[in-house]
Amino acid sequence: SFTRQSYADRVAHFGNNEAARLLLETMERKETNLCVSVDVTKKQDLLDVVDAVGQDVALIKTHIDIVEDFDQDLIHQLTALSKKHDFLIFEDRKFADIGNTVSLQYSSGVHKIASWSHITNAHMVPGRGVITGLAKVGQPLGRGLLLLAEMSSAGSLAKGEYTKTCVEEAFNDQSEFVCGFIAQSRVDERFANVGKKRDLLVLTPGVGLDVKGDALGQQYRTPEEVVIDGGSDVIIVGRGIYGALLDPQVAEGGSLARAKAFVSVREQSQRYKEEGWRAYLKRIGV
Ligand code: 5IU
């Protein structure tokens, strides 16, 4: 099973996918399987959180379309931070249209996602054209695609036959542009018989140590549950790390309150980094 192997040993399994190789190499080099998801709506907050957690992560996940004061300089600065701290960028765009449309959404518009995001993701609702449409743009740039095989939210429809088809499409993607899944479990092992099995990454959101969920259907599990029991390769953590920044006192602009919030952000990102890595070492038997 690939989950018993080290990240370093799995690099060679992704000969046709530069983004996956870079991610695994970064995880090994920095000893972290943490991806921080930064869902904030102001450019400076995004950059400040990324700078604060950068040293602890292998990957930063963005929702670039929620940033109110987005401009090209944000991409410039985000890219500079990814070099400074040695991490990759994952725009959580969740493409879900016909191939022709997603290729335009990926390459063009205000955000030009393919030009700066190493990894993005897609729903399989449209059928396999969504993969070929995105591959046309992303593959020449060395990008990688994750299929949304399962979701962390209550009542998700991504289950059963739907999840199985995602695994089938990933195994059958000859181009190997698909490098893994967003999922809550080792879906490639659960459905190992649906195609020609190859190594794929599993990245898992819905990770938190202190609370069980939020008021809008999010459900959290711990890094141990996700990495050891679930066999996931990357933990994706959002508010569990930058939550202190959402305190109304910080929003009101007190610089002392903001400085204190960033102390908490740093502490939490170190905490999740350590928990995730410890779980991984236990899994591979080190
Ligand atoms: N996200 C999920 N669950 C999913 C998928 C994506 O939470 O199944 I697919 C996103 C939503 C948010 C981040 O950007 O991951 C989780 O943030 P919190 O850790 O703050 O809940």
Measured from the CB, is residue 39 less than 6 Å from ligand 1? yes
Residue positions forming the annotated binding site: 39, 61, 152, 218, 238-239
pLDDT of residue 35: 99
- Outline where 222-254 has alpha helix (H): 223-224, 239-242, 248-251
Report d(CA 85, CA 42) in Å as an integer. 21
pLDDT in tens, 219-241: 999 999 999 999 999 999 999 99
Atom number, ligand 1, closest to the C-alpha of residue 39: 14
Instruction: Return the best residue to mutate from 152, 214, 237 for the ligand 1 pocket (most ligand atoms within 8 A of CB).
Output: 152
Query: What is the band of 251 on the pLDDT scale with cuts at 50, 70, 90?
Result: confident
The strand pair at 178-182 and 88-95 is best described as unpaired
pLDDT of residue 252: 85
